[in-house]
Amino acid sequence: MPTFADLGLSEAVVSVLAANGAETPFPIQAATLPDSLAGRDVLGRGRTGSGKTYAFLLPMVTRLTAQRAQRVSGRPRALILAPTRELVAQIAASLAPLAAATDLRTVTIFGGVGPQPQISKLRAGVDVVIACPGRLEDHVKSGHADLSAVEISILDEADHMADLGFLPPVKRLLDKTPRDGQRMLFSATLDGGVDVLVKRYLNNPVVHSVDSVEAPVTAMEHHVLHVDKAARVNVLTDLAASPGRTIVFARTKHGAKALTRQLNSRGVPAVELHGNLSQNARTRNLAAFSDGSATVMVATDIAARGIHVDDVNLVVHADPPVEHKAYLHRSGRTARAGADGTVVTLMLDDQVSDVRQLVRKAGVKPTITRFSGASHPVLHEIAPGERTFSQPLTASRPEPTAPRRPRRRRPSRQRRPAAAAAG
């Protein structure tokens, strides 16, 4: 396997990678870098956690630094489009040390925050824009962003972009970039909507497909726990209180909020991540999970892709997803970059048929355990180690159940009868 230095990356880039403990590329990087560094359009498909981010950042940084150009107000030289704010922030974090070492200026653009700081950075001149399609299109329409000087365009998680209905703005944005620019598209799957983008925007692309999206990560153990509805939260609490980081997936925003409250009330430090939160709250909660002050993150499918947090030991599907692609993307939050990981699906009586179909389509053969009540030896086999509970968080404590004092009834203010009033 070649090293990053062997692939022709600059000394500054190789030094940054080495400082982060990366000297040998992952398969998707080793496969795509020779072509992307040569300026070819690249279509890369690899399962989540396979290292796609560096696969497009490294050739982009190399291209921008090999041919320096004066920054022009509102006219970036590189464009990266991603489907969620969290993924934009994660890409920016991966790019930051590379940009600092090579004197590149970047800006992140997404909704949920005020537009003015983004406009100010665009006006000052940036090399790279990392953006969600909607807010960037607003800046283009208002004249604050001009994509006519973009030399390299990158689409990350293109299939998720299609699932979220972002293809129309993505097309409008790419239509404003030069046709002869380099384009790279990375995705976990290459189905319908993605194929449209490939045919329309990529010029004779080199296709690199590393591993099958249907195949589970070999270092990932899959379990299905068939539990009683009354015991569901207690089983979840036991698993979440085990050592290490845990991501719990709920089907709805309301469900994620409720589970977070229940875990905190039982002494398991948990934060929530879903679309009803403000951007500041989402950023703050993700930071708490990343730095370990919260050991559990309860999320909707907003976190199924692009959330890169190291050392997630356990993924729990508290609500089984509807389709198998979501199962694989959710599960991919653990066993990343060669690490081990465990995936648990909680299954109720009325979900048996759906879960069986789900894991079959996902190509997974889980260990299925049925038990009544809230405890079973298998819980410690799945997530070994001492369970740790802290004091319940005040804000998340359930309402007191002690009876309240009856309130004193105030004198009635009803109108007196007419006869009495006349008296």
Tokens of 167: 């293809």
Angle at 247 between CA 245 and CA 251, to 5 degrees: 170
Q: Are residues 192 and 236 in the same domain?
A: no
Record the pTM.
0.66
Q: Are residues 290 and 357 in the same domain?
A: yes
Give 218-255 as a DSSP string: TTEEEEEEE--GGGHHHHHHHHHTSSSEEEEE-SSHHH
> Is 335 inside a domain boundary?
yes
> Is 214 inside a domain boundary?
no
Q: How would you write the pLDDT of the chain (423 residues) with one tens digit per residue?
A: 788 888 888 888 999 998 888 878 888 888 899 999 999 999 988 665 567 889 999 999 999 998 888 899 999 999 999 988 888 988 999 999 999 999 999 999 998 889 999 999 999 999 999 999 999 999 999 999 999 999 999 999 888 888 778 889 999 999 999 999 999 998 877 766 788 889 999 999 999 876 544 444 445 789 999 999 999 999 999 999 999 999 999 999 999 999 999 999 999 999 998 878 887 888 889 889 988 899 999 998 875 565 666 678 899 999 998 888 778 877 866 644 444 678 999 999 999 999 999 999 888 889 999 988 778 899 999 999 899 888 654 433 333 333 444 444 444 444 343 333 333
Q: How far apart are the first and last CA of the chain?
A: 105
Angle at 112 between CA 88 and CA 275, to 5 degrees: 80
Determine contact, residues 344/317, Cβ cutoff 8 Å: yes
Write down the pLDDT at residue 422: 37
Determine contact, residues 107/122, Cβ cutoff 8 Å: yes
> Is 391 inside a domain boundary?
no
Write down the pLDDT at residue 240: 95
- Provide the domain limits for residue 18: 4-209
Q: From CA 199, how far away is CA 268, in angstroms rounded?
A: 49
Distant-in-sequence, close-in-space partners of 404: CB < 8 Å, separation ≥ 6 = none
Q: Which among 296, 240, 254, 253 is positioned nearest to 271, based on CA atoms?
A: 296
CB atoms within 10 A of CB 6: 12
Q: From CA 190, how far away is CA 46, in angstroms rounded?
A: 10
Write down the pLDDT at residue 215: 43
> Is 275 inside a domain boundary?
yes
- What is the residue whose two structure tokens read 């070819």? 40
Write down the pLDDT at residue 415: 39
Write down the pLDDT at residue 182: 97
DSSP state, residue 272: E
Q: Are residues 179 and 315 in the same domain?
A: no
Q: Are residues 145 and 64 in the same domain?
A: yes
- Cα dihedral sign, 74-75-80-81: positive
Q: Which among 83, 136, 69 is positioned nearest to 107, based on CA atoms?
A: 136
Give 375-420 as a DSSP string: --THHHHHS-S-----PPPGGGPPPP-SPPPPPPPPPP-PPPPHHH
Q: Are residues 104 and 240 in the same domain?
A: no
CB atoms within 10 A of CB 276: 13
> Is 364 inside a domain boundary?
yes
Amino acid at 325: K
Q: Are residues 205 and 253 in the same domain?
A: no
Q: Are residues 47 and 91 in the same domain?
A: yes
Q: Are residues 72 and 144 in the same domain?
A: yes
Distant-in-sequence, close-in-space partners of 18: CB < 8 Å, separation ≥ 6 = none
> Is 262 inside a domain boundary?
yes
Count: domains in the chain: 2
> Is 411 inside a domain boundary?
no
Write down the pLDDT at residue 116: 95
Phi, psi torsion values for 72, nearest 5 degrees: -120, 135
Residues for the chain: how many in total?
Answer: 423
Q: From CA 29, how far away is CA 36, in angstroms rounded?
A: 10
Write down the pLDDT at residue 190: 72
Phi, psi torsion values for 221, nearest 5 degrees: -95, 135
Q: Are residues 199 and 304 in the same domain?
A: no
Tokens of 52: 């796609």
Determine contact, residues 223/342, Cβ cutoff 8 Å: yes
Amino acid at 47: R
Domain holding 68: CATH number?
Answer: 3.40.50.300
Write down the pLDDT at residue 187: 82
Residue 220, beta-bridge partner list: 341
Q: Are residues 240 and 196 in the same domain?
A: no
Determine contact, residues 164/152, Cβ cutoff 8 Å: no
Q: Which among 167, 184, 181, 174 is positioned nearest to 28, based on CA atoms?
A: 184
Q: Are residues 192 and 45 in the same domain?
A: yes
Tokens of 318: 């508290």
Half-sphere exposure of 270 (CA within 13 A, CB side): 34
> Is 423 inside a domain boundary?
no
Q: Are residues 240 and 203 in the same domain?
A: no
